[in-house]
Amino acid sequence: MPEPTEDRSEFRNGPERCDAPEFRKDSIVDRWVIIARHRAERPHELVESTPQRPAGSICPFCEGHEQQTTQEILAIRAPGTQPNTPGWNVRVVPNKYPAVLSNAEEAVPPAAGFYQSQPGFGAHEVIIESPRHVISTTDESVETLTEVLWIYRQRLIELRRDSRLKYGLIFKNVGAAAGASIEHTHSQLVAMPLVPTSVAEELSAAEHFYRANGRCIYCQLLADELSFGQRIVFESPGFVAFCPYAPRFPFETWIVPRLHASHYETLAEGGAAELAMALRTVVAKIEVTLARPAYNYIIHTGSFDTFGVEHYHWHIEIIPRVTKTAGFEWGTGFFINPMPPEEAAGVLRACDTMS
Q: Is 28 in the site for its own copies (CB under 8 A)?
A: yes
Strand partners, 101: 121
Based on the residue annotation, tell me whether 300 is a catalytic residue of this protein.
no
Residue 168: which of 10, 303, 31, 5 has the closest Cα? 303
Q: Is 221 in the site for its own copies (CB under 8 A)?
A: yes
Residue 70 vs 337, nearer CB to its own copies:
337
One residue of 159, 217, 243, 284 binding its own copies per CB under 8 A: 217
Residue 34 vs 134, nearer CB to its own copies:
34
- Quote the CA–CA distance of 265 and 146 in Å, as a whole number: 14
CB of 166 to its own copies, least distance (A): 12
CB of 80 to its own copies, least distance (A): 35
Residue 136: which of 173, 89, 171, 110 has the closest Cα? 173
Task: Write the binding mask 289 to 328 for its own copies: x where contact by CB under 8 A, - elsewhere.
Answer: xxx-x--xxx-x------------------x--xxxxxxx
* Count of all residues that appear for the chain in the document: 355
CB of 116 to its own copies, least distance (A): 8
Q: Is 212 in the site for its own copies (CB under 8 A)?
A: no
CB of 50 to its own copies, least distance (A): 13
Ranges within 88-107 binding its own copies (CB under 8 A): 99
One residue of 91, 260, 311, 349 binding its own copies per CB under 8 A: 260
- Quote the CA–CA distance of 230 and 153 in Å, as a whole number: 32
Residue 88 vs 104, nearer CB to its own copies:
104
Q: Looking at 38, 44, 133, 186, which residue is catalytic?
A: 186
Whether the Cβ atoms of residue 187 and residue 172 lie closer than 8 Å to each other:
yes
- Quote the CA–CA distance of 73 and 130 in Å, as a whole number: 16
- Quote the CA–CA distance of 222 and 150 in Å, as a whole number: 24
One residue of 27, 68, 71, 141 binding its own copies per CB under 8 A: 27
Select from 24-32, 54-62, 127-135, 143-151 the region that touches its own copies (CB under 8 A): 24-32
Q: Is 228 in the site for its own copies (CB under 8 A)?
A: yes
Select from 52-60, 70-78, 129-137, 248-256 the region that touches its own copies (CB under 8 A): 248-256
- Total residues interacting with its own copies, rule: CB under 8 A: 115
Residue 29 vs 78, nearer CB to its own copies:
29
Q: Is 87 in the site for its own copies (CB under 8 A)?
A: no
Whether the Cβ atoms of residue 119 and residue 104 lie closer than 8 Å to each other:
yes
Residue 239 vs 251, nearer CB to its own copies:
251
Whether the Cβ atoms of residue 146 and residue 276 lie closer than 8 Å to each other:
yes
Q: Is 179 in the site for its own copies (CB under 8 A)?
A: yes
Q: Is 15 in the site for its own copies (CB under 8 A)?
A: yes
Ranges within 324-343 binding its own copies (CB under 8 A): 324-343
Q: Which residues contact 348 (CB under 8 A, 6 or more apart)?
A: 233, 234, 243, 251, 253, 282, 285, 286, 289
Q: Which amino acid is at 62?
A: C
Ranges within 42-61 binding its own copies (CB under 8 A): 43-44, 46-48, 51
Q: Which residues contact 308 (CB under 8 A, 6 or more apart)?
A: 262, 263, 266
Select from 74-82, 146-154, 196-204, 277-285 the region that touches its own copies (CB under 8 A): 196-204
Q: Is 37 in the site for its own copies (CB under 8 A)?
A: yes
- Quote the CA–CA distance of 355 and 351 in Å, as a whole number: 9
Half-sphere exposure of residue 210, counting CA atoms within 13 Å on the CB side?
15
Burial letters 72-110, b for 16+ CB under 10 A, else e: bbbbebeeeeeeeeeebbbbbbbbeebbbbeebbeebee
Catalytically active residues are: 186
